[in-house]
Copies of this chain bind each other. A is one copy, B any other.
Amino acid sequence: MYIIKIGGGKDINLDYVLSDFKKLEGKKILVHGANYEMDRLSEKLGVEPKEIISPSGMTARYTDEKVIDIFTCVYPGLVNSRVTARLQKLGVNAVGLSGIDGGVWKGERKRKILSKEGDKVRVITDNYSGRVSEVDTRLLNVLLDNGFVPVISSPAISSEGDIINADNDPATALMAHAMGVKEIVMLFEAPGFLMDHKDPSSKVDFIKYEEIDSLMESAKSTMKKKLLAVKYALNLGVEKVYFGDSRTEDPITRAFNGEGTVVSQ
């Protein structure tokens, strides 16, 4: 079984990604982001994206009620529909899901979170984000066993039934673990892990588990979160994570061929 995660950036080439995804034989799941469209719709609606910086220095999207509404518009709405329709057009019998459907991605809502603002730490109480802490594999298995291809993204659902913005990468890691998948492909808008994010020639070909922590220091915020998710996946028993470039032709094939960055146990 394959689990392929694609980012939601502006420059991702969906044609390249989806026609390569189509070629994968057997069971497969696609996870997608939607950051670019999220920022676009937020801007059109005059809702400025706000970041929360945790005391430990990690950034996250501040998700109040207004933002979670835009989130459900964009992730399971605009982008999931587009990706699913394009796969259907290619002859892949895709079924668009969010973590809500069938309770696939369950998480706890972090209602109160700490936000670092300059030297101060503020408590935010109207937050609709969280982390996926449980994957219910039943719906995924029913779909896969019957030849359907799940296309999934955040949001997740909390135990209280709240819709929560949960980061796709750790959710993908936990889903891989729950589905017994040993390899994950993660495509984004870079050739792989770069020591200097401005310099494509600084790509690292291989990363061993033990090296992740030291690389985290030189990584930018989004890549730091990605590395954390990869570390989490490897801790859960995933054997390899392939980073690849969603802007190039055959990006999944190339990632499996080690043309990006391979992170392994």
- Interface set of A (CB-CB < 8 Å, partner B): 41, 44-45, 69, 72-78, 80-82, 84-86, 88-90, 93-98, 100-103, 138-139, 142-143, 146, 148, 155, 157, 160-163
Interface of A is mostly: helix
Number of copies: 2
- Can you pick out 29 interface pairs between chain A and chain B where the beta carbons lie within 8 Å of each other? A41-B73, A69-B78, A72-B77, A73-B73, A74-B77, A76-B80, A76-B96, A77-B81, A81-B98, A81-B100, A81-B163, A82-B163, A85-B100, A85-B161, A85-B162, A85-B163, A86-B161, A88-B100, A88-B157, A89-B160, A93-B102, A95-B97, A95-B102, A96-B97, A96-B98, A96-B100, A139-B148, A142-B143, A142-B146
Residues of chain B within 8 A of A80, CB atoms compared: 76-77
Task: Judge whether B88 and A82 touch: CB under 8 Å.
Answer: no
How far, in whole Å, are A138 and B93 apart by their CA atoms in the complex? 11
Most B CB atoms within 10 A — which of A73, A74, A101, A142? A101
Known: A93-B103, A95-B102. Is A76-B69 also a contact (CB below 8 A)? no
Task: Judge whether A88 and B146 touch: CB under 8 Å.
Answer: no
Known: A88-B103, A89-B160. 5 other contacts (CB 8 A): A69-B78, A76-B81, A77-B81, A93-B102, A94-B101
Known: A139-B148, A142-B142. Is A84-B100 also a contact (CB below 8 A)? yes
User: Which of B77, B90, B102 touches A148 (beta carbons < 8 Å)?
Assistant: B102
4 tightest A-B contacts by CB? Answer: A77-B77, A89-B161, A73-B73, A72-B81
Residues of chain B within 8 A of A98, CB atoms compared: 81, 96
Residues of chain B within 8 A of A155, CB atoms compared: 81
Residues of chain B within 8 A of A160, CB atoms compared: 89
Residues of chain B within 8 A of A74, CB atoms compared: 73, 77
How far, in whole Å, are A90 and B161 apart by their CA atoms in the complex? 8
Residues of chain B within 8 A of A143, CB atoms compared: 142
Closest to A69 in B: B78
